[in-house]
Amino acid sequence: MLFFGHIGITAFLGKFLYLPLLFVVIGSMLPDALDKGLVLIGITDYSRFVAHNIFFGPMAGMITYAVTRRRDASLAILFGCYMHLIEDSNRFLPWLYPLVRYELIPVQGINIMLGTYEYVSEAIGLSLLIILFRFKSNVIAIRERILSNIKDSYDRRIVKKVRK
């Protein structure tokens, strides 16, 4: 997945979870920025290495909380990082690095592989970004309706249990 796929899908879902969009977007791009940045400056030869595992998100969230003292910002960073991993899971990821040693394949520079998955995810991500910013009030209204329906359904179950 590339730029618009990561940002669009993650920002759209982050909006439904009431997370601050700036931090969601930063979190969604943080794994690539770190790992690809390390490749570009020559520190490592692996483009999915330090930040493409399940331990990076919580660490980035804790650092964000230490700097900002905002719980919502740290959760947004964590959410963005984990969404990035889910969106990248069509190819190999070292999920448990550094606990598990992986046979990583070195890369020369930044390789961008374009296939059906990338084209579709970019189109979806760009579409969701357009929907999010063009129809922002409608997205918020839909979110509120969904949450209201979930709450009503939950309340009906509680009432049924109490009546029994």
Q: Is residue 152 part of a domain?
A: no
On the question of pLDDT at 30 being above 90, the answer is: yes
- Alpha-carbon gap, residue 75 to 55, rounded angstroms: 14
- What is the extent of the structural domain holding 34? 3-137
Mean pLDDT (whole number) for 53-81 = 97
The reply to whether 57 falls in a domain is yes
Number of domains present in the structure of the chain: 1
Q: 83-109, pLDDT tens digit by residue? A: 999 999 888 889 898 888 888 877 776
Query: Is 63 contained in some domain?
Result: yes
Question: Rounded to an integer, what distance in angstroms lies between the CA atom of residue 58 and that of residue 71?
Answer: 12
Task: Kindly report, residue by residue over 118-138, the tens digit of the pLDDT.
Answer: 999 999 999 999 999 888 888
66 lies in some domain: yes
- Greater model confidence, 57 or 152: 57
**Distance between CA atoms of residues 55 and 151, nearest Å:** 33
